Amino acid sequence: MRHRLPSVIPMVLIAGFAMAQQSAQEPQFVKAEEAKFVSSPVLPECLSFVIDHGDPKAGSSISLLKFASGCTVPMHWHSANENLMFVSGTGQFEMKGEQPHTCKAGDYIFAPARHPHQLSCASGCTFYRFVDGPVDIHYVDAAGNEIPADKALAAFGERPAAAMEKK
């Protein structure tokens, strides 16, 4: 008589393996004042960020973002869910089909995957961003058609940043 493992056992083994990998990670402490902020050629030059944890190219990550006063990231979407936690400044967050919301320190925003949204900062904004998968950005026009970064940014008087370190 041959015994078959119940289907739940492989799931328990997989979950145990994932938990073991998490517990094997080292504790981490990141000082914001020592962080080396960088820019990206697909984002406006008025925005810089530092990756605090994870790998945004391969999976989930947490980053600290800084927007200069007046900076706008035009309407766009991501393949993963995005969570924003405002630390300082005043911003305006708009999701397609929704009323714009003013954001300030302590506010939280959840932007579901593939849901177009945009963010503008009236006074310099700083916030943490948690993305639950690889990071990408897809700019869209008013009709929802995907457009290149330089075209999307130009509509707001922004231009793509040169990928370089900022202080």
* Number of structural domains the chain divides into: 1
Which SS3 state, helix, strand or coil, does residue 162 take? coil
Query: Residue 61 falls within a domain, yes or no?
Result: yes
Tokens linked to 70: 């007046």
Q: Flag whether 6 is in a domain.
A: no
Asked whether residue 5 is domain-assigned, the answer is no
Beta bridge partners of 81: none
Distances (CA, A) of 76 to 25, 43, 144, 147: 33, 11, 9, 9
Residuewise pLDDT in 10s, the chain (167 residues): 444 434 333 333 333 333 334 445 788 888 878 889 999 999 999 999 999 999 999 999 999 999 999 999 999 999 999 999 999 999 999 999 999 999 999 999 999 999 999 999 999 999 999 999 999 999 999 999 999 999 999 999 898 987 444 44
In a domain, 14, yes or no: no
Q: Are 163 and 40 in contact (CB under 8 A)?
A: yes
Q: Is 30 among the domain residues?
A: no
Query: Does any domain span residue 144?
Result: yes
Residue 25 lies in a domain: no
pLDDT of residue 7: 39
pLDDT at residue 31, rounded to an integer: 83
Per-residue model confidence (pLDDT) at position 98: 93
The residue assigned the tokens 């994870």 is: 54
CATH code for position 121: 2.60.120.10
pLDDT of residue 42: 93
Show the domain range for 101. Answer: 35-166
Q: Which pLDDT value is given to residue 15?
A: 37
pLDDT confidence of residue 24: 53
Is 0.85 topped by the overall pTM?
no
Write down the pLDDT at residue 161.
86
79 within a domain of the structure (yes/no)? yes
